[in-house]
């Protein structure tokens, strides 16, 4: 790990029931990117998780209707805590204008289809200060290679 | 790089209390809250955030208005904090508060205690100076002091009818006021039944006061059995009783085995059904003190008034139900009248 700081290990807070298609997709993505996964049944639990993980790189993924409950306060709280929200627009229901406005004003990203989740996660990881574990491993490999090269180089120098 | 700001931790103060919801609905002296180490959050998500980030000893949750989301809110609070959670319950919330704090059978114990409101801020924010909240199953170490017991006993005396064990007039009027507020907000319906025992004075004079008392106790017991658990039955005067039937949207999905009426039924039909059933049961009650001639002679007359059709306030509903009761008496007794438009419509009560 780069910093060895678990605070920086990013995670996704997945809000919703098992049956939701985006939940399966989000879990797959998290596995692929080696992100920590926190499952929440509703927005209330999600807020508790975000508050407990304040300062940590978190992305809250859930349906817009759920995340925008209670006047969309989650968006502001997440932003304050350094988390990012990703709202899925339900394909079967037309999103309420007010909910969309709350999400946009709260700095959340809106996703129209489950397939767009990957882009949203990529964008978030690229923009955030923390890295996915997978990226850290790449970086460690790079470091190890460099150290080996330096040792070899130093060894060679010693030999000489 | 993220622009996440460094979050200052909330100040940790021993004994600090977090109050969630509209506290004006539960505290008689809500303005006094500023005198205590209390934080108030009206938005529940702000509150859950504050609870998880702060160190609160106690969290008071106003139940009024939380309805179906309450378990989710309480679970989130449990997740983020170890604080003692006290439910601030309206009178009509008490059965639910009891369940949430009891944690019986498979149910989670989502709260630690409840207080029936209206109450005073000290009850939650300065519990050392006020009687404790009601905590089902509390352990011996936390047993109530003698003062607490005395105060609870006095509270019971102040709201209970000594003879029948039912709620008294003071309680039922306050309950009706609270439940009407709830109905106004959530488009609910409330029906008030006022009834009395026909010829009660005759029984009292003929058979004595002990027999009269026995009749009243029997009426109370039977009416209580005919009602759902959340309806409130009270004795409001000599032989006069009142029942508040109300619709609780939160209970629609609950599966109560002892719910003898369809929760989806319309007011006042369900109230009429209860009254009718009570009338039948009461008429066949065995009253040994009346002797062999006593069986099947007891009847009641009643008047029903419904919110919002017949009145907006407790006083209006009580007045209209009383008028209907008087009409029922004048029309020959043993009947229940609804408040009508041009004239009263008699409920379909079998003779």
Q: Tell me whether residue A140 is in a domain.
A: no
Contacts of B209 (CB under 8 A, 6+ apart): none
Total beta-carbon pairs less than 8 A apart between chain A and chain B: 77
Q: Which pLDDT tens digit goes with each residue over B175-228?
A: 999 999 988 888 888 999 999 999 999 888 888 888 899 899 989 999 999 998
Q: Tell me whether residue A103 is in a domain.
A: yes
How much of chain B, in percent, has pLDDT values that exceed 90? 40
Q: Which pLDDT tens digit goes with each residue over B325-346?
A: 999 998 888 888 887 633 344 4
* Strand partners of residue B306: B191
Task: Determine what percent of chain B falls in helix, strand and coil, rounding each to the nearest 5.
Answer: 45, 20, 40
In angstroms, the CA A25 to CA B224 distance is 53
Strands B17-20, B38-41: pairing kind? parallel
Asked whether the beta carbons of B101 and B113 are under 8 A apart, the reply is yes
Checking if the pLDDT of B82 tops 50, the result is yes
User: CATH 3.30.70.270 residue ranges in chain B?
Assistant: 167-338
| Three-state secondary-structure class, residue A49 | helix
Q: Give me the helix-helix angle, A21-33 and A117-127, nearest 10°.
A: 40
Which run of H or of E encompasses B158?
helix B146-159
Q: Is B82 on the interface with A (CB under 8 A)?
A: no
Q: Which of B135, B110, B136, B109 is nearest to B124 (CA)?
A: B135
Strands B58-62, B17-20: pairing kind? parallel
Asked whether the beta carbons of B99 and B71 are under 8 A apart, the reply is no
At residue B191, the pLDDT reads: 93
Range of the domain at A35: 6-131
Q: Which of B242, B57, B53 is nearest to A82 (CA)?
A: B53
Work out the average pLDDT over B12-24.
Answer: 81
CATH number for the domain that contains residue A113 = 3.40.50.261
Asked whether the beta carbons of B207 and B289 are under 8 A apart, the reply is yes
Measure B25 CA to nearest chain A CA, in Å. Answer: 19
Work out the average pLDDT over B82-93.
Answer: 91
A80-94, A139-153, B229-243, B309-323: segment of lowest average pLDDT? A139-153
User: Could you tell me which residue, A2 or B185, shows the higher pLDDT?
Assistant: B185
In angstroms, the CA B294 to CA B282 distance is 12
Residue of chain B nearest A45, judged by CA positions: B76
Q: Tell me whether residue A25 is in a domain.
A: yes
Which run of H or of E encompasses B193?
strand B190-197
Contacts of B67 in chain A (CB under 8 A): none
Residue B23: DSSP 8-state: G
Measure B246 CA to nearest chain A CA, in Å. Answer: 27
At residue B281, the pLDDT reads: 86
At residue B185, the pLDDT reads: 84
Measure A106 CA to nearest chain B CA, in Å. Answer: 14
Asked whether the beta carbons of B154 and B219 are under 8 A apart, the reply is no
Q: Tell me whether residue A143 is in a domain.
A: no
Work out the average pLDDT over B125-148.
Answer: 57
Q: Which pLDDT tens digit goes with each residue over A132-150?
A: 555 555 545 554 455 556 5
Q: Which of B206, B260, B203 is nearest to B229 (CA)?
A: B260
By Cβ distance, the residue of B43, B72, B76 closest to A71 is: B43
Contacts of B76 in chain A (CB under 8 A): 42, 44-45, 47-48
Question: Half-sphere exposure (CA, 13 Å, Cβ side) for B216?
Answer: 24
Q: What is the DSSP string of A88-104?
A: EPPSSSPPPHHHHHHHH
Q: In the structure, what pLDDT confidence band is assigned to residue B172 with cuts at 50, 70 and 90?
A: very high
Q: What is the dihedral of CA B307, B311, B315, B319, to 10 degrees?
A: -110
Sign for the CA dihedral angle at A74, B35, B57, B59 comes to negative
Tokens of B304: 């029903």
Is residue B239 flagged as an active site residue? yes
Contact A51 B75 (CB under 8 A): no
Q: In the structure, what pLDDT confidence band is assigned to residue B138 with cuts at 50, 70 and 90?
A: very low
Of 3.30.70.270, 1.10.1040.10, 3.30.70.360, 3.10.620.30, the CATH number of B167-338 is 3.30.70.270
Q: How many domains does chain A have?
A: 1
pTM of the full structure: 0.71
At residue B50, the pLDDT reads: 95
Asked whether the beta carbons of B287 and B214 are under 8 A apart, the reply is yes
Which run of H or of E encompasses B47?
helix B44-53
At residue B105, the pLDDT reads: 60
B9, burial (CB in 10 Å: exposed 0-12, middle 13-18, buried 19+): exposed
Residue of chain A nearest B51, judged by CA positions: A48
Q: Which of A25, A26, A97, A29 is nearest to A68 (CA)?
A: A97
Q: Which of A138-152, B183-197, B252-266, B285-299 shows the highest mean pLDDT?
A: B183-197
User: CATH 3.40.50.2300 residue ranges in chain B?
Assistant: 17-154
Q: Is B5 on the interface with A (CB under 8 A)?
A: yes
By Cβ distance, the residue of A45, A77, A82 closest to B4 is: A82
By Cβ distance, the residue of B2, B45, B50 closest to A43 is: B45
Q: Is A45 on the interface with B (CB under 8 A)?
A: yes
Instruction: Considering the candidates B93, B231, B239, B327, report the single residue annotated as catalytic.
Output: B239
Q: Which pLDDT tens digit goes with each residue over A38-87?
A: 999 999 999 999 999 888 899 999 999 999 999 999 999 999 888 999 99
Give which of B69, B76, B81, B85 to mutate to test A binding, by max A Cβ within 10 Å.
B76
Measure A102 CA to nearest chain B CA, in Å. Answer: 15
In angstroms, the CA B270 to CA B263 distance is 9
Q: In the structure, what pLDDT confidence band is assigned to residue B2 with cuts at 50, 70 and 90?
A: very low
Q: In the structure, what pLDDT confidence band is assigned to residue B254 with cuts at 50, 70 and 90?
A: very low
Contacts of A69 in chain B (CB under 8 A): 45
By Cβ distance, the residue of A42, A54, A73 closest to B7 is: A54
At residue B95, the pLDDT reads: 82
Contacts of B222 (CB under 8 A, 6+ apart): B278, B281, B282, B285
In angstroms, the CA B159 to CA A16 distance is 45
Q: Which pLDDT tens digit goes with each residue over A80-89?
A: 888 999 999 8
In angstroms, the CA B56 to CA B124 distance is 13
* CATH 1.20.120.420 holds for B17-154: no
Q: Where are the alpha helices (DSSP H) in B160-288?
A: 169-186, 200-207, 209-226, 269-283
What b/e sequence results for A122-141 when a residue is b if at least 16 CB atoms lie within 10 Å of its CB, and e otherwise?
Answer: eebbeebebbbeebbeeeee
By Cβ distance, the residue of B3, B43, B69 closest to A73 is: B43
Task: Scan for tokens 């029942």, then name that residue.
Answer: B243
Contacts of B51 in chain A (CB under 8 A): 48, 51
Q: Biggest alpha carbon distance in chain A?
A: 74
Q: In the structure, what pLDDT confidence band is assigned to residue B9 with cuts at 50, 70 and 90?
A: very low
At residue B135, the pLDDT reads: 58
Residue B308: cis peptide before it, omega within 30 degrees of 0? yes
Asked whether the beta carbons of B93 and B87 are under 8 A apart, the reply is yes
Q: Tell me whether residue A86 is in a domain.
A: yes
- What average pLDDT does chain B have? 80
Tokens of A44: 């209330």
Contacts of B21 in chain A (CB under 8 A): none
B273, burial (CB in 10 Å: exposed 0-12, middle 13-18, buried 19+): middle
Q: How far is CA A107 from CA A80, A84, A155, in A?
A: 11, 8, 53
């Amino acid at each position: 790990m780069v910093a060895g700081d678990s605070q920086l290990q990013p995670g996704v807070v997945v809000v919703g029931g098992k049956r939701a298609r985006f939940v399966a997709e989000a879990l797959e993505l998290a596995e692929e990117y080696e992100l920590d996964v926190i499952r929440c049944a509703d927005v209330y639990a999600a807020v508790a998780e975000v508050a407990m993980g304040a300062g940590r790189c978190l992305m809250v993924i859930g349906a817009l209707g759920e995340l925008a409950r209670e006047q969309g306060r989650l968006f502001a709280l997440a932003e304050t805590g350094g988390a990012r929200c990703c709202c899925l627009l339900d394909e079967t229901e037309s999103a309420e204008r007010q909910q969309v406005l709350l999400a946009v004003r709260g700095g959340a990203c809106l996703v129209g289809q489950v397939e767009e989740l990957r882009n949203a996660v990529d964008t978030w990881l690229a923009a955030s200060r923390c890295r996915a574990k997978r990226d850290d491993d790449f970086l460690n490999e790079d470091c190890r290679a460099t150290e080996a090269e330096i040792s070899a180089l130093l060894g060679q120098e010693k030999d000489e | 790089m993220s622009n996440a700001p460094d979050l200052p931790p909330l100040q940790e103060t021993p004994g600090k209390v977090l109050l969630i919801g509209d506290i004006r609905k539960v505290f008689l002296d809500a303005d006094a809250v500023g005198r205590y180490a209390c934080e108030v959050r009206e938005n529940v998500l702000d509150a859950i955030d504050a609870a998880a980030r702060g160190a609160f000893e106690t969290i008071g949750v106003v139940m009024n208005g939380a309805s179906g989301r309450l378990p989710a809110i309480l679970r989130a609070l449990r997740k983020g904090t170890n604080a003692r959670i006290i439910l601030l319950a309206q009178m009509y919330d008490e059965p639910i508060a009891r369940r949430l704090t009891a944690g019986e059978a498979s149910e989670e114990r989502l709260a630690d205690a409840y207080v029936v409101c209206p109450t005073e801020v000290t009850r939650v924010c300065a519990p050392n100076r006020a009687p404790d909240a009601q905590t089902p199953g509390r352990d011996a170490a936390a047993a109530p002091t003698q003062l607490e017991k005395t105060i609870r006993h006095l509270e019971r005396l102040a709201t209970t009818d000594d003879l029948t064990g039912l709620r008294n007039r003071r309680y039922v009027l306050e309950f009706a006021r609270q439940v009407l507020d709830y109905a106004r907000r959530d488009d609910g319906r409330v029906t008030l039944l006022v009834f009395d025992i026909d010829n009660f004075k005759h029984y009292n004079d003929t058979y004595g006061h002990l027999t009269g008392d026995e009749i009243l106790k029997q009426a109370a017991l039977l009416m209580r059995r005919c009602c759902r658990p959340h309806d409130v039955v009270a004795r409001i005067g000599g032989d006069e009783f009142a029942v508040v039937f109300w619709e609780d949207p939160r209970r629609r999905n609950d599966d109560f085995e002892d719910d003898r009426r369809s929760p989806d039924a319309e007011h006042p039909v369900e109230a009429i059904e209860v009254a009718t059933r009570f009338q039948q049961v009461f008429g066949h009650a065995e009253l040994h003190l009346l002797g062999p001639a006593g069986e099947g002679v007891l009847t009641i007359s009643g008047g029903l008034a419904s919110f919002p059709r017949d009145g907006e306030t407790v006083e209006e509903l009580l007045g209209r139900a009383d008028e209907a009761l008087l009409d029922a008496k004048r029309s020959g007794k043993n009947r229940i009248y609804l408040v009508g438009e041009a004239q009263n419509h008699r409920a379909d009560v079998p003779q």
